[in-house]
Amino acid sequence: MTTAEQQDALFELEKLVESRIRRDRAEEISGLLAEAELSDIIRLIEHSPVKRGAVLFRLLPPERAGAVFDALDPRHQADMVRALGSDSVGAFFEEMGAEDRVMLLDELPGRVAERLLKELGEKDKQNTDAVLGYEKGTVGRVMSPEIPEIYGSMTAHEVRELLRREHEDLETLYTLPVIDRDRQLTGIVKMRRLFLAERDTLVADLLEDTPSVVASADAEETARWFLPLALLAIPVVDSGNRLVGIFTFDEAQHVVESEDSEDSARQGGSEALKQPYLSTPLTNLVKSRIVWLLVLAVSAILTVQVLDIFEEKMQQAVVLSLFIPLLTGTGGNTGNQAATTVTRALALGDVKKSDVLKVMWREVRVGLMLGAVLGALGFALATLVYGLDIGMVIGLTMLSICTMSATVGGAMPIVAKTVGADPAVFSNPFISTFCDATGLIIYFLIATSILGL
C-alpha cells in the first residue's frame, strides 16, 4: 500500500469513528477497530487528543490493545496511563521489555510508577531494576537485560533447547552472547551457525568475535558508531567485562532519532515534543516554547543596550540605521550555519572536543572568504547609492561580522560539549543574539573610525 493509500485509509477510518462517536455508538466503534489495520489504529490514537484516544483504547480487543500501547511513544503512554488509570494498563506494562518499561516510568509520577512496579513478577522486576540502576543517557538505561545464559561448554543442541524454552522472554535470537562461569563475555554465536551445527558441537567452536560496549557509556555516542556497523545487536558489559545486557539496532536507531529531533527543536528555539503533535496537550506545547522565548527576550536586551550606547552616532549619520537589519541578519545566519555544521560533526564523531582550535581556524578562513564576497557586494551597492565612505563602512563591517560570527558559531558547540551542555542549546538562538550585539558594536566602531563621528 502506498503512502497516499495509507493516508486515505486513515482518513476514512477517522470519519467513520467520528460519526459514531457523535451518535454514541460504542459497539460499532469497537467493531470498526477490531477490523481495521493495526497501523491505522495506532496512527488514529496518535492523532487524537488524549481523552479521545483513551476512549478508543478501551474499545479495542485486549490483544490489539497491547500491541497499540507498546507502539506508542513513552510520553504518550504516560498520558494514557493517567487517562485510563494504572490498573487498566498493568497487564500491558508487564508485557513490555525492561527498557521500554523504564522509559515509561521516567514519564510517570512517582506514586504511579511505584504502583506499576509492585504489580510486576519477581523476574520482570529484577530486569526493570537492573535498567533503572543506570544513569539516564547511558547505554545501560536503554539496553535489554533479557538475555539467555549461554556458556562455551554447552552443546549446540542444549542451546537450541534453551532458546526454544525461553524465546518469548528474549530480546533477540539472532545475536547470542556467550559467557564463561564468571559471566565474562567470550564472544557471540549467531543463530545461523547454531542452527546448522551438529547437535554435539560445542558452542566454543562456533564463537565469533564481536564489538561490545560498557553499560556506563553514552547512549548517543554508542548508537552513532554502532549503526553503521550494520549489526543486529552488540553485547553490553560492566567495567569488569561481565555480560549485563544487549543493545539492539532498533534501540540505537530510536536513540539517534530522539536526539536528532531534540537537537533540531533546540536549534529552532524550542523543546522537542515527545509524542505526536495532535495528541500533545496545549499546555505541553506552550511549555516547550515559553522558556526559550523568555531566554531570547532577555538576551535581546543586549542588542537594545548597544543601540542605546551608540544612539548619538546614529543621529549624526542616520543612514547607518538603514543597514542594521542587513548586518545583524547576516551575522546571525553566518553563525548559525557554522554552529549547525559543527554540531552535526560532533554528533557523527567527525569532530572531537580537542579539535576546537582546528575548527576555529577553519571557520576564521571560511568567514573571511564569505565576508570578502558579501563585503565586496555591499561595498559596491552602498557606494553607488550613499557614497564611498558608507560603502567602506558596510564592506568592512560585512567582512568583520562574517569572520567573527563563523568563528564563534563553530566554537560554541564544542565549548558546550566540553562543559557538559547540549551543543544544540548553544546554537541558533544564543548565537543569533550574541552576533547581533557584537556585530552592532563592530559596525559602529568601524563607522566612527571612517566617518569621524
Q: Is the Cβ–Cβ distance between 256 and 249 less than 8 Å? A: no
Q: Is the Cβ–Cβ distance between 319 and 453 less than 8 Å? A: no
pLDDT band at residue 444 under the 50/70/90 scheme: confident
Q: Is the Cβ–Cβ distance between 347 and 259 less than 8 Å? A: yes
Task: List, for residues 27-76, the tens digit of each pLDDT value.
Answer: 777 777 777 788 888 888 877 777 777 777 777 777 787 778 877 877 77
Residue 236 has pLDDT above 90, yes or no: yes
pLDDT at 178: 92
Higher pLDDT, 249 or 349: 249
Q: Are strands 213-214 and 233-237 parallel, antiparallel or unpaired?
A: parallel
Higher pLDDT, 93 or 232: 232
Distance from C-alpha of 16 to C-alpha of 29, rounded to nearest angstrom: 8
pLDDT at 90: 64
Q: Which of 262-266, 380-384, 439-443 has the lowest mean pLDDT?
A: 262-266
pLDDT at 377: 93
Distance from C-alpha of 252 to C-alpha of 1, rounded to nearest angstrom: 28
Q: Is the Cβ–Cβ distance between 134 and 179 less than 8 Å? A: no
Task: List, for residues 339-373, the tens digit of each pLDDT value.
Answer: 888 887 887 778 888 888 999 999 999 999 999 99
Residue 23 has pLDDT above 70, yes or no: no
Task: List, for residues 415-440, the tens digit of each pLDDT value.
Answer: 888 877 667 665 666 777 788 888 88
pLDDT at 427: 62
Q: Which of 2-16, 18-32, 145-159, 320-334 has the lowest mean pLDDT?
A: 2-16
Residue 287 has pLDDT above 90, yes or no: no
Domains detected in the chain: 3-141 (1.25.60.10), 156-268 (3.10.580.10), 281-451 (1.10.357.20)
How confident is the model over 262-290, as a mean pLDDT?
Answer: 65
420 backbone dihedrals φ, ψ, rounded to 5°: 85, 15
pLDDT band at residue 22 under the 50/70/90 scheme: low
Distance from C-alpha of 398 to C-alpha of 376, rounded to nearest angstrom: 9
Task: List, for residues 81-134, the tens digit of each pLDDT value.
Answer: 777 776 666 666 777 778 887 887 777 777 777 777 777 778 888 888 888 888
Residue 295 has pLDDT above 70, yes or no: no
144 backbone dihedrals φ, ψ, rounded to 5°: -105, 125
Residue 402 has pLDDT above 90, yes or no: yes
How confident is the model over 284-302, as a mean pLDDT?
Answer: 70
pLDDT band at residue 396 under the 50/70/90 scheme: very high
pLDDT at 243: 92
